[in-house]
């Protein structure tokens, strides 16, 4: 059992790893090392004096599945239940999602009738896509692009419009480059096991989670589609940081790791600008490419694989308008790449979480997302593009796509460089090579974070917990 564990990276993955290390009571010393001046990574909120909350990163978390229940359990343990803002199943933000195609907003079909009839922007009823899947042959390739997979099983139109848009909204990535096996493993496995994705998903039943709490039961009973926190998602890392301080975790901010060296005791010497710390084991929550630059030369096979895991840059523009200015009510809309490469989508924050609007006069909050895999081509060089340029692109999109002529009363522009890892073709093999090398060489190093096995907040928290349980020899969470 390691006596000292260093957690490298203070985003939500690193914080979750520290949380579970401390909870276990098995590790005498836990050290958290973060290169920036704050913890929380992309969970970043602005709170204004008049009570408004603006999210610059993730704004809502889904409660579904084992990963969703795991996060709810942690939130309960941290005493945050009273701060949760749920979006229930009957809410407009849960039922209404839109695509902006051919210069018009289109509500995505829902329910049986929506699948049976032809609904723009599609030229055929979606039921025909399902019938195509039931008769399609099983794929024979070890990996396939998401676009190729959906085209083969459901048709090109669904791939070009809906799936292209979905991948832009989730990964800020190109469905023609992203791996279905790594991005949507349930779809890949369903086809492999049942030949049909629809049958495979229907018969799989999913993994049964053994976790239970009053919050988990409430989320199920009320059919939550997602949830946030009253004062923004940044509340979660703030509470976690306080929890860790109180339990003796040694936290170093503004301390980027400059190098890792193996010690004669089969441990590590972690080099920092101000000196070094020693560890029996390292849990790295650093981005893959950043880690590749600090591992010792003896880990070159790992570094070579890490360097192949790219990430894309996204500009997030938060806007506040006076009054109720939206022509529709829902969660927001996504934009397929053939419509506008630069604009990924617009989130209608005021609809989903009106509790985060300012007090007093009615207002509307929106978030415009730009760039991703198309940043350099359709927005510009991330190192040179100005906030003014990004703000102009965002307000023009709101004007053209939502018909809003007014100028925003408040705007916040954030440029998130290399913020979302891209699971391109062969990602499963790269990660398999990395994890197998670490295991075969019995290296005291665990890898967690969005670079490897899921980019969502839920995935990051869940995989951090699993890594701690593996390290401590505990029964794996379900």
Q: Could you report the per-residue pLDDT of 254-279, keeping only the tens digit for each?
A: 999 999 999 988 999 999 999 999 99
Tokens of residue 231, six digits: 């004062």
Tokens of residue 368, six digits: 């415009």
Residue 290 per-residue DSSP state: H
Angle, to 10 degrees, between the axis of helix 457-472 and the axis of helix 12-24? 40
CA dihedral 37, 228, 18, 416 (to 10 degrees): -40
Give residues with Cβ within 8 angstroms of 392, minimum separation 6.
none
Question: For the chain, what is the mean pLDDT?
Answer: 94
Q: Is the previous residue joined to 219 through a cis bond, with omega within 30 degrees of 0?
A: no
Sheet containing strand 259-262, edge to edge, reads 259-262, 268-272, 275-279
What integer pLDDT is reported at residue 83 of this predicted model? 97
Work out whether the CA dihedral 186, 192, 193, 195 comes out positive or negative. Answer: positive
**Residue closest to 154 by CA, chosen among 121, 196, 105:** 196
Measure the CA–CA gap between 477 and 469, rounded to whole angstroms: 8
Give residues with Cβ within 8 angstroms of 64, minimum separation 6.
none
> What 3-state class would DSSP assign to 271?
strand
What integer pLDDT is reported at residue 114 of this predicted model? 61
Residue 358 has pLDDT above 70, yes or no: yes
Measure the CA–CA gap between 202 and 191, rounded to whole angstroms: 12
Residue 206 has pLDDT above 60, yes or no: no
Helix ranges, 298-367 (H): 300-306, 349-352
Average pLDDT, integer, range 367-384 = 97
Measure the CA–CA gap between 471 and 478, rounded to whole angstroms: 16
Indicate the pairing of strand 311-322 with strand 363-372.
antiparallel
Average pLDDT, integer, range 42-63 = 97
What integer pLDDT is reported at residue 199 of this predicted model? 86
**Residue closest to 424 by CA, chosen among 183, 257, 210:** 183
């053994």: which residue's tokens? 210
pTM flag (> 0.75): yes
Beta bridge pairs of residue 36: none
**Mean pLDDT lowest among 162-166, 204-208, 333-337:** 204-208
- β strands within 115-198, DSSP E: none
Work out whether the CA dihedral 418, 421, 423, 427 comes out positive or negative. Answer: positive
What CA–CA distances, in Å, run from 296 to 32, 182, 258, 262, 271? 20, 28, 11, 8, 11
């Amino acid at each position: 059992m390691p006596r000292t564990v260093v957690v490298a990276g203070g985003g939500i993955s690193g914080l979750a790893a520290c949380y579970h290390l401390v909870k276990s009571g098995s590790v005498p010393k836990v050290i958290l090392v973060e290169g920036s001046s704050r913890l929380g990574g992309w969970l970043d909120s602005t709170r204004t004096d008049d009570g408004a909350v603006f999210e610059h990163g993730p704004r809502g978390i889904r409660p579904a599945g084992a990963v969703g229940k795991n996060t709810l359990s942690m939130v309960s343990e941290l005493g945050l239940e009273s701060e949760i803002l749920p979006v229930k199943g009957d809410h407009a933000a849960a039922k209404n999602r839109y695509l902006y195609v051919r210069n018009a907003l289109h509500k995505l079909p829902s329910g049986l009738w929506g699948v049976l009839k032809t609904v723009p922007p599609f030229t055929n009823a979606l039921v025909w896509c399902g019938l195509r899947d039931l008769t399609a042959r099983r794929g024979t390739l070890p990996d396939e692009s998401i676009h190729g997979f959906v085209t083969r099983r459901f048709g090109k139109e669904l791939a070009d419009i809906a799936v292209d848009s979905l991948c832009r909204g989730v990964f800020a990535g190109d469905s023609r480059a992203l791996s279905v096996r790594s991005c949507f493993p349930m779809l890949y496995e369903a086809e492999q096991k049942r030949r049909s994705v629809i049958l495979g998903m229907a018969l799989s039943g999913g993994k049964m989670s053994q976790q239970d709490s009053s919050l988990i039961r409430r989320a199920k009973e009320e059919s939550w589609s997602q949830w946030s926190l009253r004062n923004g998602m940044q509340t979660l890392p703030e509470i976690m940081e306080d929890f860790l301080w109180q339990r003796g975790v040694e936290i170093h901010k503004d301390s980027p790791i400059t190098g890792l060296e193996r010690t004669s005791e089969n441990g590590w010497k972690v080099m920092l600008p101000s000196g070094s710390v020693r560890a029996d084991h390292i849990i790295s929550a650093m981005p893959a490419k950043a880690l590749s630059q600090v591992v010792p030369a003896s880990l070159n096979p790992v570094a070579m694989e890490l360097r192949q895991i790219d990430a894309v840059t996204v500009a997030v523009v938060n806007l506040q308008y006076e009054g109720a200015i939206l022509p529709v009510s829902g969660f927001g809309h996504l934009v397929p790449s053939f419509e506008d490469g630069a604009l990924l989508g617009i989130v209608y924050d005021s609809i989903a979480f009106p509790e985060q609007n300012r007090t007093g006069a009615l207002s509307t909050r929106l978030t415009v997302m730009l760039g991703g895999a198309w940043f350099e081509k359709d927005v510009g060089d991330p190192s040179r593009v100005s906030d003014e340029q990004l703000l102009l692109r965002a307000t023009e999109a709101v004007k053209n796509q939502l018909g809003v002529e007014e100028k925003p009363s408040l705007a916040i522009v954030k440029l998130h460089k290399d913020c979302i890892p891209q699971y391109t073709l062969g990602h499963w093999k790269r990660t398999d090579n990395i994890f197998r090398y670490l295991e075969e060489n019995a290296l005291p190093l665990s890898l967690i974070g969005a670079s490897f096995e899921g980019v969502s907040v839920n995935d990051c928290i869940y995989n951090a917990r699993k890594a701690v349980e593996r390290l401590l020899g505990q029964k794996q969470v379900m």
